A and B are shown apart, each in its own frame.
Chain A
Amino acid sequence: MSASEDRGFDASVEMQQRRALLKRVAWILGGAVSAPAAMAILQGCSAKEAAPGAAAFQPRFFKGKQADIVSGIADVLIPKTDTSGALDAGVPAFIDSIMADVYPQDAQQRFAAGVDEFETASAAGGKSFLDQDLSQRAATVQQALDAALNGEHPQKPFILVARELTLLGFFTSRVGITENMEYVAVPTAYHGCVPLSQMRKHVYWE
């Protein structure tokens, strides 16, 4: 998201005015106020901080090279193509925050150990993950995924956790949603059976 979309201080004043307006409209006109119009007013309220981009972030959970390794993994799982990738969506910062605040301590420790082991294993294979070029990194991650999916594991292997969180972070981000799905904040109606051929995009956010 560009910095120009971050409206900063003015947004809060504007938001209060919009809310006040909507409240009046909703109370006075009630059912007569058109839903899209009311939502257009409300939409202005959701001015928000710029999403964390690919730029460096201050990790709260990752230590040493862990942030770079997780960024490298996310980048090859969902690379930038003609559309945005995991780094554009701020996935590394997302994983850092979800580890710091959402995961319990034992899962945190497993994940941190998993990052370190992933790096150790790739270095033992000849070249440290961080020294690999993109195609080598993709091959390393693919190999790790295949091994994790084929074996039996008492706990979900690190690479699958990293993968799950990359997908979650990406497909709940602004670019991940709006570039890959039809995001309609106010659908106004539900249509139960629509041919894909009549849909602007085939996947609607839900």
Chain B
Amino acid sequence: METNSFDAIVVGSGMSGGWAAKELTEKGLKTLVLERGRMVRHPDYPTATKDPWDLPYGNRITQETRLRKPVQTRTGYPTPANQHWFVDDLDNPYEETKPFDWLRGYHVGGRSLMWARQSYRFGPLDFEANGKEGVGVPWPISYDEIAPWYDKAEIFAGISGSVEGLYQLPDGKFLPPFDLNCVEVDFKKRLDEKMGRKLIIGRCANLTAPLTHNESPQRGTCQSRNLCIRGCPFGGYFSSVSATLPSAERTGNMTLKANQIVYELIYDNDKGKATGVRVLDAETGKQTDYFARIVFLCASALGSAYIMLNSTSSRFPNGFGNDSGELGCNIMDHNKPGNSNANVEGYLDVAYTGRRPNGFYIPRYQNVGKDKRDYLRGFGYQGRAARSNYNRFNDTPLMGAELKKAALEPGPWTIGMTAFGEILPYHENHAKLDRTKKDKHGLPVLVIDAIVRDNELKMQEDMRNDAAEMLEAAGYKNITVKSDSYNVGNSIHEMGTARMGNDPKKSVLNKYNQVHACKNVFVTDGSFMPSSGCQNPSLTYMAFTARAADHAVSELKKGNL
């Protein structure tokens, strides 16, 4: 029988929502998962097995798509192979006071289908920084407290990587690492010898070997196709569609509904609790209320902030749980001002086979140990070396039979890398609702106002200079360092809009991701982050979501929620 009442409601089915669904259903809770976008089921990914010649326009984006998706396409991320995962900006508008790239995937699986799969732990350095430096609010939890949850997330998801013993980048439970290629090994050696800096293989959620558990029989190992963003019919990488949602499904406790736009939390003033959520059907516009004992908001940092800002009541006139005034504020992303490239001489008699869905990583070394900088925190680099392809002939006079002959040999090696740096939490970097503007569902539009400031701009100089210095130290030629302007959001790591902290006057959530002022609402997407680190954050969302779900069920059992 159709019912609107459940034990738990999870809003969003992406990286965090999938984990919440899996953990809550496995602990026996009848759980409703609401996704605002369309249904996607493993292994039905429309472009996953298309050959390159099946993609129109040499995989370039058409003007028609640009008109519908002006924000998504201006970033260069969408292609005909993957554009169906990126939202229609006209149907899903927002306002940007300063340029802000909001890349979104509205469908079951969310951005866990499109992510770059890089998976790094935050370390003690990251969890202690805010407290030691008096920035934002201190993390209410230590590395040691979250470490077992990282273990759990890594083991279930399957993270490949190498054990390195670095303090600033703790090791995890890894599947075997991918190979570095010949030139990357060369670069690693030179960086170590000349500068004492580490280069490691990226840690990524691709199965380089079978999983070490039997919970995901639908997943096979990575086939090195490097077409992950299309969705992988082999289940070779972690997404909620390939991994967590199937686990939740198998419990029999999950009800998953697509095309359900949650726009408001229902608050019961007498009980002091949220009783459920208000939903619009994206296709019919029908409004429905769903009820549950606990609600997990996993709708992304800006998505969850939106729902909370839109949930006003006499108790919460400024947005749900917003006693601190920090809701929607402290937006962070990763500082990323352009990439650096060089040509590598030699190694002409070697190449690689297979397509590695991963690159190298140079872990943060700034403000670690004796390496002091004139700004706080630091950055890491992600990059790869490769042999150049036919594009190298573009601006040459080579033509005819000679061109065809030359194209049968791989081009010279090139190497490129991009810095990802920490952005500090600034109260001024915020999102709010513009109730005078409405989207096609009649819902108010989010206004985002976020920029990088002095600390980030100083860091950008080092990101460029250090890259040039390292490529030069390695003896590489024709070094180019781009200084692209960086729009906040472009790293697609937005976070911080409902930060956790011990002080309810300065934070929205407690150390278990519970809203301070309403304990039966949990927010476990990027919203909760008090600082951004410089590591790709998804693994941290997984770990915190699993921990929050464990806490929620234990509190329910104790009758505390």
Given contacts A78-B404, A102-B61, contact A192 B181 (CB under 8 A): yes
Q: What is the distance, in angstroms, from B370's C-beta to the closest C-beta of chain A?
A: 33
Q: What is the distance, in angstroms, from B20's C-beta to the closest C-beta of chain A?
A: 23
Q: Are A81 and B401 in contact (CB under 8 A)?
A: yes
The answer to whether the Cβ of B272 comes within 8 Å of any Cβ in the partner chain is no
Of the listed stretches B6-14, B43-51, B321-329, B422-430, chain A binds B43-51
The answer to whether the Cβ of B377 comes within 8 Å of any Cβ in the partner chain is no
Contact with B along A182-200 (1 / 0, CB 8 A): 0111111111111111010
Which of A138, A187, A205 touches B224 (beta carbons < 8 Å)? A187
Listed residue (A26, A83, A186) with the most chain B CB atoms within 10 angstroms of its CB: A26
Q: Give A141 to B404 CA distance when docked, in angstroms.
A: 16
Q: Are A192 and B184 in contact (CB under 8 A)?
A: yes
Q: Are B220 and A30 in contact (CB under 8 A)?
A: yes
Q: Give A31 to B410 CA distance when docked, in angstroms.
A: 34
Q: Are A191 and B354 in contact (CB under 8 A)?
A: yes
Q: Are A98 and B49 in contact (CB under 8 A)?
A: no
Q: What is the distance, in angstroms, from A28's C-beta to the closest C-beta of chain B?
A: 8
Given contacts A177-B52, A180-B408, contact A76 B400 (CB under 8 A): yes
Q: Are A31 and B211 in contact (CB under 8 A)?
A: yes
Contacts of B224 in A (CB 8 A): 187-190
Q: Are B64 and A31 in contact (CB under 8 A)?
A: no
Contact with B along A131-158 (1 / 0, CB 8 A): 0000000100110011001000000000
By DSSP majority rule, is chain B's interface helix, strand, loop, or mixed?
loop
The answer to whether the Cβ of B185 comes within 8 Å of any Cβ in the partner chain is yes
The answer to whether the Cβ of A127 comes within 8 Å of any Cβ in the partner chain is no
Contacts of B44 in A (CB 8 A): 19, 23
Looking at chain B, what size class is its interface with the partner chain? 35 or more
Contacts of B485 in A (CB 8 A): none
Of the listed stretches A39-47, A56-64, A109-117, A118-126, chain B binds A39-47
Specify the chain B residue showing the minimal Cβ separation from A81: B401
Q: Are A31 and B184 in contact (CB under 8 A)?
A: no
Q: What is the distance, in angstroms, from B72's C-beta to the closest C-beta of chain A?
A: 16
Specify the chain B residue showing the minimal Cβ separation from A145: B397
The answer to whether the Cβ of B39 comes within 8 Å of any Cβ in the partner chain is no
Contacts of A81 in B (CB 8 A): 401, 404
Q: Are A190 and B352 in contact (CB under 8 A)?
A: yes
Q: Are A190 and B178 in contact (CB under 8 A)?
A: yes
A-facing residues in B162-184 (Cβ within 8 Å): 178-182, 184
Specify the chain B residue showing the minimal Cβ separation from A176: B53
The answer to whether the Cβ of B473 comes within 8 Å of any Cβ in the partner chain is no
Q: Are A138 and B223 in contact (CB under 8 A)?
A: no
The answer to whether the Cβ of B395 comes within 8 Å of any Cβ in the partner chain is yes
Specify the chain B residue showing the minimal Cβ separation from A79: B400
The answer to whether the Cβ of B226 comes within 8 Å of any Cβ in the partner chain is yes
Given contacts A39-B49, A102-B60, contact A189 B354 (CB under 8 A): yes
Which of B220, B352, B396 touches A191 (beta carbons < 8 Å)? B352
Q: Are A94 and B58 in contact (CB under 8 A)?
A: yes
Specify the chain B residue showing the minimal Cβ separation from A143: B397
A-facing residues in B302-351 (Cβ within 8 Å): 349-351
Q: Are B404 and A180 in contact (CB under 8 A)?
A: yes
Q: What is the distance, in angstroms, from A161's C-beta to the closest C-beta of chain B?
A: 10
Contact with A along B32-57 (1 / 0, CB 8 A): 00000000001110000111111111
Q: Are B53 and A51 in contact (CB under 8 A)?
A: yes
Q: What is the distance, in angstroms, from B493's C-beta to the closest C-beta of chain A?
A: 26
Q: Are B354 and A187 in contact (CB under 8 A)?
A: yes
Q: Are A22 and B43 in contact (CB under 8 A)?
A: yes
Which of B59, B218, B349 touches A27 (beta carbons < 8 Å)? B218
Q: What is the distance, in angstroms, from A155's C-beta to the closest C-beta of chain B?
A: 14
Q: Give A183 to B356 CA distance when docked, in angstroms.
A: 15
Q: Are B393 and A167 in contact (CB under 8 A)?
A: yes
Q: Are A46 and B355 in contact (CB under 8 A)?
A: no
Q: Are A30 and B391 in contact (CB under 8 A)?
A: no
Contacts of A142 in B (CB 8 A): 397, 399
The answer to whether the Cβ of B3 comes within 8 Å of any Cβ in the partner chain is no
The answer to whether the Cβ of B148 comes within 8 Å of any Cβ in the partner chain is no
Q: Give A189 to B220 CA distance when docked, in angstroms.
A: 13
Q: Give A174 to B55 CA distance when docked, in angstroms.
A: 11
Q: Give A138 to B355 CA distance when docked, in angstroms.
A: 36
Given contacts A31-B221, A180-B408, A206-B226, contact A149 B395 (CB under 8 A): yes
Q: Are A98 and B57 in contact (CB under 8 A)?
A: yes
Which of A191, A199, A205 touches B179 (beta carbons < 8 Å)? A191
Contact with A along B214-227 (1 / 0, CB 8 A): 00111111011110
Q: Give A77 to B404 CA distance when docked, in angstroms.
A: 9
Q: Are B352 and A26 in contact (CB under 8 A)?
A: no
Q: Are B220 and A33 in contact (CB under 8 A)?
A: yes
Q: What is the distance, in angstroms, from A189's C-beta to the closest C-beta of chain B?
A: 5
Contacts of B403 in A (CB 8 A): 77-78
Listed residue (B50, B61, B235, B354) with the most chain A CB atoms within 10 angstroms of its CB: B354
Q: Give A83 to B225 CA distance when docked, in angstroms.
A: 27
Which of A30, A46, A167 touches B49 (beta carbons < 8 Å)? A46
Contact with B along A34-74 (1 / 0, CB 8 A): 01001100110110100100000000000000000000000
Q: What is the distance, in angstroms, from B408's C-beta to the closest C-beta of chain A?
A: 6
Contacts of A14 in B (CB 8 A): none
The answer to whether the Cβ of B196 comes within 8 Å of any Cβ in the partner chain is no
Q: Give A202 to B348 CA distance when docked, in angstroms.
A: 11
The answer to whether the Cβ of A171 comes within 8 Å of any Cβ in the partner chain is yes
Which of A98, A145, A184, A195 touches B349 (beta carbons < 8 Å)? A195
Given contacts A35-B221, A196-B350, A206-B389, contact A187 B58 (CB under 8 A): no
Please name 10 pairs of A and B residues whose Cβ atoms are closer than 8 Å in the assembled complex, sorted by A.
A22-B233, A30-B235, A77-B400, A77-B403, A81-B401, A101-B57, A184-B354, A190-B178, A203-B408, A206-B226
Q: Which 7 A-B pairs have the closest CB atoms?
A: A192-B179, A30-B217, A190-B354, A187-B354, A193-B182, A192-B181, A190-B356
